[in-house]
Amino acid sequence: MDVVDLARWQFAVTTLSHFPVAVLEKAWVRTLPLLILPALVVRGVAFVYRGKRHGRRWRRNGDRCLSWGSLVPAFLWGVVFGAIVRGIALVENREFAGTFWDLLNPFALLGGLTTLALFVTHGAVFPALKTRGRIRRKAKGAAEKSGVVAAVLVVAFLTWAQAAEGPIAGVLLAAVAIGAWGAGMVADFFGREGWAFLGSAAAIGAAVISLFAALHPEVPPSTAGSENGLNIENAASTSKIVQIMTWAAVVFLPLVLVYQSWTYWVFRRRIGVRNIPAGHN
């Protein structure tokens, strides 16, 4: 598990600790987030063991595990966010009255496709930034193609999300996200992968914040009546738990940022095929 995975799970644990009521009674609601964990486990194991053997079949299966272990979470994160933003069927006592298939509504599926395209493009920009030669050209070409698809999807998804009842702040953030994504893709087209990476990262961050702005103060709304929904007041944990988790975030978030910055600095130079020792691929 790398530092990015650690940051994701720190966010998840912090959210659930602040809002324990959001972990609802029926397992249907928890199914989608829990499917992300085995995918990340498969991905992490593939990273470690792919190079332990040199057989072509072994390497090919390792590549498949890496691909699917990355694509599945990228899709499911968007489905989860989409289902939350659209709202879920909460009835009296905040019990989920729907089924698993209710969570896979068109808006949530569009959210999954959007995050998948965003993460694929963002991930392709990074090797284009850090490599040279044929690998850089292939990564740059992949980012350009997936970036166009992502641009269409993100415009559709954010417009749909904000059209219902998005506040002006959410609309502005959505516009910032779309603009940052466009700027990043233009930079990638002209071979400025560093700016492209920053632009895509800023776009993803602004898009996520715009969704939270559209939700506020609900987490999430109820499609069975607003009186049954969860909001930041009735879903919050006790003040003591909130204080503990806030201090944990204050202490550990800077450490994560410092460590991530250090890794970017250490691996700041481009590499190519000639930098790979013979027999390692």
Checking if the pLDDT of 25 tops 50, the result is: no
Over residues 71-112, the pLDDT tens digits come to: 988 898 888 888 877 777 666 665 666 666 767 788 889 989
| 140 touches 184 (CB < 8 A) | no
Q: Which residues pair with 131 in a beta bridge?
A: 271
Checking if the pLDDT of 54 tops 70, the result is: yes
Checking if the pLDDT of 202 tops 60, the result is: yes
Checking if the pLDDT of 9 tops 80, the result is: no
Using a 10 angstrom Cβ sphere, with 0-12 exposed, 13-18 middle and 19 or more buried, the burial of residue 165 is exposed
Following CA atoms 162, 163, 169, 171 in sequence, which dihedral angle do they give, to the nearest 10 degrees?
80
Checking if the pLDDT of 256 tops 60, the result is: yes
Assign 241 a pLDDT band (cuts: 50, 70, 90): confident
pLDDT > 90 fraction of the chain, expressed in percent and rounded: 11
* pTM beyond cutoff 0.85: no
The mean pLDDT of the chain is 78
Checking if the pLDDT of 135 tops 90, the result is: no
Assign 240 a pLDDT band (cuts: 50, 70, 90): confident
Query: What integer pLDDT is reported at residue 227 of this predicted model?
Result: 61
In the Cβ-directed half-sphere of 243, how many Cα atoms lie within 13 Å? 3
Over residues 216-234, the pLDDT tens digits come to: 777 766 666 666 666 666 6
CA distance 235 to 255: 29
Residue of higher predicted confidence among 74 and 8: 74
Of the listed ranges 39-53, 80-94, 200-214, the least confidently predicted one is: 80-94
Checking if the pLDDT of 125 tops 60, the result is: yes
Residue 57 token pair: 């079949």
Mean local confidence (pLDDT), 22-29: 45
| 82 touches 112 (CB < 8 A) | yes
Quick check: helix, strand or coil at residue 208?
A: helix
Query: What integer pLDDT is reported at residue 3 of this predicted model?
Result: 44
CA distance 276 to 281: 8
Residue of higher predicted confidence among 17 and 268: 268
